[in-house]
Amino acid sequence: MFNDIRLGAKQTIALGFATIILVGTILLMLPISSKTGVSIGFVNALFTAASATCVTGLVVFDTWSQFTFFGQLIILILIQTGGLGFMTIAILFSMVLGKRIGLRERSYVMEAVSSMQISGVVRLVKHIIMGTLIFEIIGATILSIKFYPIFGLSKGIWFGIFHSVSAFCNAGFDLMGTLEPYSSLTHFSTDLVVNLVVMSLIVIGGIGFIVWDDLFTKKLNYRKYKLHTKVVLTSTVILILVSFILFMIVERDNVLDGLSMGDRVLASMFHSITPRTAGFNTIDTANLTEASSFLTMILMFIGASPGSTGGGIKITTFVILIMAIVTYFKKQEDVNIYGRRINLSVVKRSFFSSAYYIILIVLGTFLILVIQPLPIKDILFEVFSAIGTVGLTMGVTRELNSLSRIVLVILMYSGRVGSLTIFMAVTEKKVIKKVRNPEEKVIIG
Protein backbone atom coordinates (compact mmCIF):
# COMPACT_ATOMS: atom_id res chain seq x y z
CA MET A 1 0.00 0.00 0.00
CA PHE A 2 2.85 2.40 0.83
CA ASN A 3 5.67 0.62 -1.01
CA ASP A 4 6.59 3.64 -3.10
CA ILE A 5 6.47 6.11 -0.21
CA ARG A 6 9.71 7.02 1.49
CA LEU A 7 8.26 9.13 4.26
CA GLY A 8 8.72 8.27 7.91
CA ALA A 9 5.78 7.29 10.12
CA LYS A 10 5.43 10.72 11.73
CA GLN A 11 5.73 12.49 8.38
CA THR A 12 3.09 10.21 6.87
CA ILE A 13 0.66 10.86 9.73
CA ALA A 14 1.18 14.63 9.53
CA LEU A 15 0.80 14.65 5.74
CA GLY A 16 -2.20 12.32 5.87
CA PHE A 17 -4.16 14.58 8.22
CA ALA A 18 -3.27 17.61 6.12
CA THR A 19 -4.55 15.85 3.00
CA ILE A 20 -7.84 14.91 4.65
CA ILE A 21 -8.32 18.52 5.79
CA LEU A 22 -7.65 19.78 2.25
CA VAL A 23 -10.13 17.33 0.69
CA GLY A 24 -12.71 18.25 3.33
CA THR A 25 -12.13 21.92 2.61
CA ILE A 26 -12.81 21.47 -1.10
CA LEU A 27 -16.02 19.51 -0.43
CA LEU A 28 -17.33 22.03 2.12
CA MET A 29 -16.62 24.88 -0.31
CA LEU A 30 -19.08 23.40 -2.81
CA PRO A 31 -22.42 25.26 -3.04
CA ILE A 32 -24.18 21.91 -2.45
CA SER A 33 -22.74 21.89 1.08
CA SER A 34 -24.35 25.20 2.05
CA LYS A 35 -28.06 25.83 2.59
CA THR A 36 -27.65 29.25 0.99
CA GLY A 37 -26.45 27.64 -2.23
CA VAL A 38 -23.37 29.88 -2.09
CA SER A 39 -19.84 28.74 -1.26
CA ILE A 40 -18.70 29.64 2.26
CA GLY A 41 -15.22 30.49 0.96
CA PHE A 42 -11.83 28.87 1.37
CA VAL A 43 -10.86 30.09 4.86
CA ASN A 44 -14.26 29.26 6.40
CA ALA A 45 -14.27 25.84 4.74
CA LEU A 46 -10.66 25.23 5.84
CA PHE A 47 -11.51 26.18 9.42
CA THR A 48 -14.56 23.89 9.49
CA ALA A 49 -12.72 20.97 7.86
CA ALA A 50 -9.75 21.36 10.23
CA SER A 51 -12.03 21.59 13.25
CA ALA A 52 -13.90 18.43 12.19
CA THR A 53 -10.83 16.39 11.19
CA CYS A 54 -8.95 17.46 14.32
CA VAL A 55 -12.12 16.64 16.33
CA THR A 56 -12.12 20.10 17.89
CA GLY A 57 -15.61 21.57 17.54
CA LEU A 58 -14.85 25.26 17.13
CA VAL A 59 -17.19 26.64 14.47
CA VAL A 60 -17.59 29.83 12.48
CA PHE A 61 -21.09 28.76 11.38
CA ASP A 62 -23.85 26.96 13.21
CA THR A 63 -23.63 23.47 11.70
CA TRP A 64 -27.37 22.92 11.35
CA SER A 65 -28.23 26.41 10.10
CA GLN A 66 -25.42 26.67 7.52
CA PHE A 67 -24.86 23.20 6.11
CA THR A 68 -27.11 20.95 4.05
CA PHE A 69 -27.41 17.23 4.77
CA PHE A 70 -24.50 16.72 2.33
CA GLY A 71 -22.38 19.24 4.22
CA GLN A 72 -23.30 17.70 7.58
CA LEU A 73 -22.43 14.24 6.23
CA ILE A 74 -19.01 15.46 5.07
CA ILE A 75 -18.39 16.93 8.52
CA LEU A 76 -19.43 13.64 10.16
CA ILE A 77 -17.08 11.64 7.90
CA LEU A 78 -14.23 14.02 8.72
CA ILE A 79 -14.99 13.63 12.44
CA GLN A 80 -14.99 9.83 12.23
CA THR A 81 -11.81 9.75 10.15
CA GLY A 82 -10.05 12.24 12.41
CA GLY A 83 -11.20 10.47 15.56
CA LEU A 84 -10.02 7.02 14.54
CA GLY A 85 -7.01 8.30 12.62
CA PHE A 86 -6.60 7.97 8.87
CA MET A 87 -4.08 5.13 9.26
CA THR A 88 -6.69 3.04 11.07
CA ILE A 89 -9.15 3.72 8.25
CA ALA A 90 -6.52 2.84 5.63
CA ILE A 91 -5.74 -0.47 7.33
CA LEU A 92 -9.47 -1.20 7.56
CA PHE A 93 -9.84 -0.81 3.79
CA SER A 94 -6.79 -3.00 3.24
CA MET A 95 -8.32 -5.74 5.38
CA VAL A 96 -11.67 -5.46 3.57
CA LEU A 97 -9.93 -5.72 0.18
CA GLY A 98 -7.86 -8.66 1.41
CA LYS A 99 -4.53 -6.91 0.90
CA ARG A 100 -1.42 -7.96 2.79
CA ILE A 101 -0.47 -5.56 5.57
CA GLY A 102 3.30 -5.21 5.57
CA LEU A 103 5.78 -4.21 8.24
CA ARG A 104 5.81 -0.56 7.15
CA GLU A 105 2.03 -0.24 7.42
CA ARG A 106 2.11 -1.90 10.83
CA SER A 107 4.77 0.56 12.02
CA TYR A 108 2.60 3.46 10.83
CA VAL A 109 -0.41 2.13 12.73
CA MET A 110 1.73 1.60 15.82
CA GLU A 111 2.70 5.29 15.69
CA ALA A 112 -0.85 6.44 14.92
CA VAL A 113 -2.52 4.66 17.84
CA SER A 114 0.44 5.07 20.24
CA SER A 115 0.91 1.32 20.52
CA MET A 116 3.89 0.15 22.57
CA GLN A 117 4.85 -2.65 20.15
CA ILE A 118 4.44 -3.50 16.49
CA SER A 119 3.18 -7.03 17.10
CA GLY A 120 -0.57 -7.30 17.42
CA VAL A 121 -1.38 -3.93 15.80
CA VAL A 122 -3.66 -5.51 13.19
CA ARG A 123 -5.61 -7.24 15.94
CA LEU A 124 -5.70 -3.90 17.77
CA VAL A 125 -7.15 -2.20 14.68
CA LYS A 126 -9.89 -4.84 14.55
CA HIS A 127 -10.71 -4.19 18.21
CA ILE A 128 -10.72 -0.42 17.57
CA ILE A 129 -13.14 -0.71 14.64
CA MET A 130 -15.45 -3.17 16.42
CA GLY A 131 -15.39 -1.22 19.67
CA THR A 132 -16.10 2.04 17.87
CA LEU A 133 -19.05 0.55 15.99
CA ILE A 134 -20.51 -1.02 19.13
CA PHE A 135 -20.27 2.10 21.30
CA GLU A 136 -21.43 4.49 18.58
CA ILE A 137 -24.39 2.28 17.63
CA ILE A 138 -25.48 1.95 21.27
CA GLY A 139 -25.13 5.70 21.78
CA ALA A 140 -26.94 6.50 18.52
CA THR A 141 -29.80 4.15 19.38
CA ILE A 142 -30.41 5.66 22.82
CA LEU A 143 -30.08 9.24 21.58
CA SER A 144 -32.38 8.55 18.61
CA ILE A 145 -35.04 7.26 20.98
CA LYS A 146 -34.69 10.45 23.04
CA PHE A 147 -34.67 12.78 20.01
CA TYR A 148 -37.50 11.09 18.09
CA PRO A 149 -40.38 12.69 20.08
CA ILE A 150 -38.78 16.13 19.65
CA PHE A 151 -37.54 16.11 16.06
CA GLY A 152 -39.49 13.33 14.37
CA LEU A 153 -38.33 9.93 13.09
CA SER A 154 -35.81 10.64 10.31
CA LYS A 155 -34.41 13.77 11.93
CA GLY A 156 -34.26 12.07 15.32
CA ILE A 157 -32.28 9.12 13.90
CA TRP A 158 -29.87 11.42 12.05
CA PHE A 159 -29.38 13.54 15.20
CA GLY A 160 -28.77 10.39 17.24
CA ILE A 161 -26.11 9.14 14.82
CA PHE A 162 -24.42 12.52 14.42
CA HIS A 163 -24.19 13.32 18.14
CA SER A 164 -23.11 9.78 19.05
CA VAL A 165 -20.18 9.89 16.61
CA SER A 166 -19.35 13.46 17.60
CA ALA A 167 -19.33 12.57 21.31
CA PHE A 168 -17.36 9.35 20.94
CA CYS A 169 -14.75 11.09 18.78
CA ASN A 170 -14.64 13.97 21.30
CA ALA A 171 -15.51 16.38 18.47
CA GLY A 172 -18.18 18.61 20.02
CA PHE A 173 -20.02 19.33 16.75
CA ASP A 174 -23.79 19.48 17.18
CA LEU A 175 -26.97 20.03 15.19
CA MET A 176 -28.94 21.74 17.94
CA GLY A 177 -29.04 24.94 15.94
CA THR A 178 -32.45 23.65 14.89
CA LEU A 179 -33.60 24.75 18.37
CA GLU A 180 -31.27 27.71 18.82
CA PRO A 181 -28.07 28.52 16.87
CA TYR A 182 -24.80 27.80 18.71
CA SER A 183 -26.70 26.36 21.69
CA SER A 184 -24.85 22.99 21.83
CA LEU A 185 -26.63 20.80 24.43
CA THR A 186 -27.86 23.62 26.69
CA HIS A 187 -31.49 22.66 25.94
CA PHE A 188 -30.77 19.23 27.41
CA SER A 189 -28.89 20.40 30.52
CA THR A 190 -31.36 18.62 32.82
CA ASP A 191 -31.94 15.54 30.66
CA LEU A 192 -30.33 12.67 32.58
CA VAL A 193 -30.26 10.19 29.67
CA VAL A 194 -28.73 12.56 27.10
CA ASN A 195 -26.12 13.74 29.60
CA LEU A 196 -25.14 10.24 30.71
CA VAL A 197 -24.90 8.91 27.15
CA VAL A 198 -22.80 11.84 25.91
CA MET A 199 -20.54 11.81 28.99
CA SER A 200 -20.02 8.04 28.70
CA LEU A 201 -19.12 8.27 25.01
CA ILE A 202 -16.68 11.11 25.70
CA VAL A 203 -14.90 9.16 28.45
CA ILE A 204 -14.83 5.88 26.50
CA GLY A 205 -13.44 7.60 23.43
CA GLY A 206 -10.97 9.57 25.55
CA ILE A 207 -9.30 6.76 27.53
CA GLY A 208 -7.54 5.49 24.43
CA PHE A 209 -7.43 2.41 22.22
CA ILE A 210 -4.53 0.82 24.13
CA VAL A 211 -6.59 0.89 27.33
CA TRP A 212 -9.54 -0.66 25.48
CA ASP A 213 -7.36 -3.52 24.32
CA ASP A 214 -5.98 -4.11 27.80
CA LEU A 215 -9.47 -4.09 29.34
CA PHE A 216 -10.72 -6.44 26.64
CA THR A 217 -7.85 -8.86 27.22
CA LYS A 218 -7.54 -8.72 31.02
CA LYS A 219 -11.25 -8.10 31.78
CA LEU A 220 -11.64 -6.85 35.39
CA ASN A 221 -8.29 -8.19 36.62
CA TYR A 222 -6.84 -4.81 37.65
CA ARG A 223 -3.57 -6.26 38.95
CA LYS A 224 -2.70 -7.61 35.49
CA TYR A 225 -3.35 -4.33 33.69
CA LYS A 226 -0.43 -2.59 32.01
CA LEU A 227 1.06 0.35 33.88
CA HIS A 228 -0.30 2.64 31.14
CA THR A 229 -3.86 1.39 31.73
CA LYS A 230 -3.58 1.80 35.50
CA VAL A 231 -2.27 5.35 35.16
CA VAL A 232 -4.97 6.35 32.65
CA LEU A 233 -7.89 4.88 34.59
CA THR A 234 -6.78 6.15 38.00
CA SER A 235 -5.82 9.64 36.88
CA THR A 236 -8.99 9.99 34.76
CA VAL A 237 -11.22 9.20 37.73
CA ILE A 238 -9.27 11.52 40.04
CA LEU A 239 -9.24 14.38 37.53
CA ILE A 240 -12.99 14.11 36.88
CA LEU A 241 -13.86 13.98 40.60
CA VAL A 242 -11.55 16.84 41.59
CA SER A 243 -12.75 19.13 38.78
CA PHE A 244 -16.36 18.15 39.54
CA ILE A 245 -16.03 19.19 43.20
CA LEU A 246 -14.21 22.41 42.33
CA PHE A 247 -16.81 23.34 39.73
CA MET A 248 -19.65 22.67 42.19
CA ILE A 249 -18.03 24.97 44.74
CA VAL A 250 -16.91 27.78 42.45
CA GLU A 251 -20.11 28.01 40.37
CA ARG A 252 -22.65 27.47 43.18
CA ASP A 253 -23.74 31.13 43.13
CA ASN A 254 -23.19 31.66 39.42
CA VAL A 255 -24.28 29.39 36.52
CA LEU A 256 -25.51 26.72 38.96
CA ASP A 257 -27.63 29.18 40.92
CA GLY A 258 -31.33 28.34 40.76
CA LEU A 259 -30.82 24.70 39.76
CA SER A 260 -31.91 21.76 41.89
CA MET A 261 -29.18 19.71 43.58
CA GLY A 262 -29.59 16.92 41.03
CA ASP A 263 -29.27 19.34 38.12
CA ARG A 264 -26.24 20.98 39.75
CA VAL A 265 -24.53 17.61 40.05
CA LEU A 266 -25.37 16.78 36.42
CA ALA A 267 -24.12 20.11 35.06
CA SER A 268 -20.94 19.99 37.17
CA MET A 269 -20.15 16.43 36.17
CA PHE A 270 -20.71 17.24 32.48
CA HIS A 271 -18.42 20.26 32.67
CA SER A 272 -15.72 18.29 34.47
CA ILE A 273 -15.68 15.81 31.55
CA THR A 274 -16.29 17.88 28.41
CA PRO A 275 -13.13 20.07 28.58
CA ARG A 276 -11.06 16.89 28.12
CA THR A 277 -11.57 17.22 25.02
CA ALA A 278 -15.17 17.09 23.78
CA GLY A 279 -16.43 20.64 23.35
CA PHE A 280 -20.12 20.09 24.09
CA ASN A 281 -21.59 22.34 26.76
CA THR A 282 -24.81 22.27 28.77
CA ILE A 283 -24.21 25.65 30.41
CA ASP A 284 -23.22 29.02 28.98
CA THR A 285 -19.41 28.89 28.93
CA ALA A 286 -19.16 32.66 28.46
CA ASN A 287 -20.78 33.21 31.89
CA LEU A 288 -18.29 31.11 33.87
CA THR A 289 -16.44 32.75 36.74
CA GLU A 290 -12.77 33.61 36.28
CA ALA A 291 -11.80 30.63 38.45
CA SER A 292 -13.92 28.17 36.45
CA SER A 293 -12.61 29.57 33.16
CA PHE A 294 -9.05 29.03 34.37
CA LEU A 295 -9.89 25.50 35.60
CA THR A 296 -11.43 24.74 32.21
CA MET A 297 -8.27 25.92 30.44
CA ILE A 298 -6.16 23.63 32.65
CA LEU A 299 -8.39 20.66 31.81
CA MET A 300 -8.21 21.52 28.09
CA PHE A 301 -4.42 21.64 28.35
CA ILE A 302 -4.22 18.22 30.05
CA GLY A 303 -6.61 16.57 27.60
CA ALA A 304 -7.37 12.89 27.14
CA SER A 305 -5.19 9.79 26.82
CA PRO A 306 -2.55 8.87 24.20
CA GLY A 307 -3.91 6.96 21.22
CA SER A 308 -7.43 8.20 21.89
CA THR A 309 -9.91 10.42 20.06
CA GLY A 310 -8.95 13.35 22.30
CA GLY A 311 -6.16 15.92 22.36
CA GLY A 312 -4.17 17.93 24.91
CA ILE A 313 -0.71 17.09 26.23
CA LYS A 314 -2.33 13.81 27.39
CA ILE A 315 -3.16 12.78 30.93
CA THR A 316 -0.21 10.35 31.16
CA THR A 317 2.16 13.20 30.30
CA PHE A 318 0.59 15.29 33.06
CA VAL A 319 0.98 12.45 35.59
CA ILE A 320 4.65 11.94 34.67
CA LEU A 321 5.29 15.68 35.04
CA ILE A 322 3.76 15.69 38.52
CA MET A 323 5.63 12.56 39.57
CA ALA A 324 8.91 13.96 38.20
CA ILE A 325 8.46 17.11 40.30
CA VAL A 326 7.65 15.00 43.38
CA THR A 327 10.73 12.87 42.69
CA TYR A 328 12.92 15.98 42.45
CA PHE A 329 11.66 17.36 45.77
CA LYS A 330 12.25 14.00 47.43
CA LYS A 331 15.79 14.05 46.00
CA GLN A 332 15.24 10.64 44.44
CA GLU A 333 16.95 9.39 41.29
CA ASP A 334 14.09 7.63 39.50
CA VAL A 335 10.49 8.49 38.67
CA ASN A 336 8.40 5.59 39.96
CA ILE A 337 4.68 4.90 39.46
CA TYR A 338 2.90 1.83 40.86
CA GLY A 339 6.24 0.23 41.72
CA ARG A 340 7.58 0.66 38.19
CA ARG A 341 10.43 2.93 37.06
CA ILE A 342 9.68 5.33 34.22
CA ASN A 343 12.38 5.46 31.54
CA LEU A 344 14.28 8.76 31.54
CA SER A 345 13.59 9.26 27.82
CA VAL A 346 9.84 9.17 28.55
CA VAL A 347 10.26 11.80 31.28
CA LYS A 348 12.28 14.02 28.91
CA ARG A 349 9.70 13.59 26.17
CA SER A 350 6.91 14.56 28.59
CA PHE A 351 8.66 17.81 29.51
CA PHE A 352 9.55 18.57 25.90
CA SER A 353 6.00 17.92 24.66
CA SER A 354 4.48 20.10 27.39
CA ALA A 355 6.98 22.90 26.76
CA TYR A 356 6.25 22.74 23.05
CA TYR A 357 2.50 23.05 23.70
CA ILE A 358 3.10 26.03 25.98
CA ILE A 359 5.25 27.72 23.31
CA LEU A 360 2.49 27.21 20.73
CA ILE A 361 -0.10 28.61 23.16
CA VAL A 362 2.01 31.70 23.85
CA LEU A 363 2.77 32.29 20.16
CA GLY A 364 -0.82 31.66 19.10
CA THR A 365 -2.22 34.01 21.72
CA PHE A 366 0.29 36.73 20.88
CA LEU A 367 -0.37 36.51 17.13
CA ILE A 368 -4.13 36.74 17.51
CA LEU A 369 -3.81 39.66 19.94
CA VAL A 370 -1.61 41.44 17.39
CA ILE A 371 -4.08 40.70 14.60
CA GLN A 372 -7.18 41.51 16.65
CA PRO A 373 -7.04 43.30 20.03
CA LEU A 374 -9.78 41.24 21.70
CA PRO A 375 -9.99 40.52 25.48
CA ILE A 376 -6.99 38.39 26.40
CA LYS A 377 -9.04 35.93 28.48
CA ASP A 378 -11.30 35.18 25.52
CA ILE A 379 -8.34 34.65 23.21
CA LEU A 380 -6.47 32.50 25.73
CA PHE A 381 -9.57 30.35 26.17
CA GLU A 382 -9.90 30.04 22.39
CA VAL A 383 -6.24 29.10 21.96
CA PHE A 384 -6.35 26.48 24.73
CA SER A 385 -9.51 25.10 23.16
CA ALA A 386 -7.93 24.92 19.71
CA ILE A 387 -4.65 23.25 20.64
CA GLY A 388 -6.44 20.95 23.09
CA THR A 389 -8.89 20.07 20.26
CA VAL A 390 -11.76 20.81 22.64
CA GLY A 391 -14.17 23.23 20.97
CA LEU A 392 -15.39 25.20 23.98
CA THR A 393 -15.49 28.94 23.40
CA MET A 394 -16.30 32.22 25.06
CA GLY A 395 -18.18 33.14 21.88
CA VAL A 396 -15.41 34.96 19.99
CA THR A 397 -14.78 32.37 17.25
CA ARG A 398 -17.18 34.04 14.84
CA GLU A 399 -15.59 37.46 15.54
CA LEU A 400 -12.14 36.35 14.40
CA ASN A 401 -10.93 37.47 10.98
CA SER A 402 -9.31 35.21 8.38
CA LEU A 403 -5.75 35.55 9.72
CA SER A 404 -6.81 34.77 13.28
CA ARG A 405 -8.76 31.75 12.05
CA ILE A 406 -5.71 30.44 10.19
CA VAL A 407 -3.71 30.70 13.43
CA LEU A 408 -6.37 28.56 15.13
CA VAL A 409 -6.29 26.07 12.24
CA ILE A 410 -2.55 25.60 12.77
CA LEU A 411 -3.11 25.14 16.49
CA MET A 412 -5.92 22.60 15.94
CA TYR A 413 -3.77 20.66 13.50
CA SER A 414 -0.81 20.70 15.89
CA GLY A 415 -3.03 19.60 18.77
CA ARG A 416 -4.57 16.65 16.92
CA VAL A 417 -1.52 15.32 15.12
CA GLY A 418 0.59 16.15 18.16
CA SER A 419 2.99 19.04 18.35
CA LEU A 420 5.78 16.60 19.10
CA THR A 421 4.89 14.53 16.02
CA ILE A 422 4.92 17.63 13.81
CA PHE A 423 8.28 18.72 15.19
CA MET A 424 9.77 15.25 14.71
CA ALA A 425 8.19 14.94 11.25
CA VAL A 426 10.27 17.90 10.15
CA THR A 427 13.38 16.49 11.83
CA GLU A 428 12.74 12.77 11.27
CA LYS A 429 16.40 11.88 10.81
CA LYS A 430 18.28 11.90 14.06
CA VAL A 431 21.72 13.48 13.95
CA ILE A 432 24.23 11.92 16.34
CA LYS A 433 27.33 14.01 16.97
CA LYS A 434 30.54 12.06 17.27
CA VAL A 435 32.20 14.91 19.16
CA ARG A 436 30.47 16.47 22.16
CA ASN A 437 31.09 20.02 23.37
CA PRO A 438 32.80 20.73 26.72
CA GLU A 439 30.45 20.78 29.69
CA GLU A 440 29.86 23.94 31.74
CA LYS A 441 27.26 24.83 34.35
CA VAL A 442 24.50 27.43 34.04
CA ILE A 443 22.75 28.79 37.12
CA ILE A 444 18.98 28.24 37.06
CA GLY A 445 16.14 28.79 39.52
Q: pLDDT for 241-257, tens place per residue?
A: 999 999 999 999 999 99
What's the pLDDT at 432?
55
Structural domain includes residue 138: yes
Structural domain includes residue 80: yes
All residues at 6 or more sequence positions from 256 whose CB lies less than 8 Å from its CB, including other chains: 248, 264, 267, 268, 283
Mean predicted lDDT score pLDDT of the chain: 87
pLDDT average, residue stretch 116-139? 80
What's the pLDDT at 5?
47
What's the pLDDT at 353?
87
Structural domain includes residue 1: no
pLDDT average, residue stretch 9-25? 84
Structural domain includes residue 443: no
Torsion of CA 88, 91, 95, 101, to 10 degrees: -140
What's the pLDDT at 35?
96
Report pLDDT digits (tens) over 234-244: 999 999 999 99
The segment with the largest mean pLDDT, out of 76-90, 301-315, 415-429, is: 301-315
Structural domain includes residue 245: yes
Overall number of domains in the chain: 1
CA distance 393 to 61: 13
Report pLDDT digits (tens) over 49-75: 999 999 899 999 999 999 999 999 999
Structural domain includes residue 291: yes
Q: Which domain holds residue 291?
A: 9-426
The segment with the largest mean pLDDT, out of 85-89, 115-119, 183-187, is: 183-187
Asked whether the CA dihedral 40, 405, 308, 274 is positive or negative, the reply is negative
Report pLDDT digits (tens) over 164-195: 999 999 999 999 999 999 999 999 999 999 99
Structural domain includes residue 433: no
Whole-structure pTM over 0.75, yes or no? Answer: yes
- SS3 for the chain, per residue? CCCCCCCCHHHHHHHHHHHHHHHHHHHHHCHHHECCCCCCCHHHHHHHHHHHHCCCCCCCCCHHHHECHHHHHHHHHHHHHHHHCHHHHHHHHHHHCCCCCCHHHHHHHHHHCCCCCCCCHHHHHHHHHHHHHHHHHHHHHHHHHHHHHHHCHHHHHHHHHHHHHHHHCCCCCCCHHHCCCCCCCHHHCCCHHHHHHHHHHHHHHHCCHHHHHHHHHHCCCHHHCCHHHHHHHHHHHHHHHHHHHHHHHHCCCCCCCCCCHHHHHHHHHHHHHCCCCCCCCCCCHHHCCHHHHHHHHHHHHHCCCCCCCCCCCCHHHHHHHHHHHHHHHCCCCCCEECCEECCHHHHHHHHHHHHHHHHHHHHHHHHHHHHCCCCHHHHHHHHHHHHCCCCCCCCCHHHCCHHHHHHHHHHHHHHHHCHHHHHHHHCCCCCCCCCCCCCCCCCCC
Structural domain includes residue 414: yes
Out of 136-145, 214-223, 313-322, least confident range:
214-223
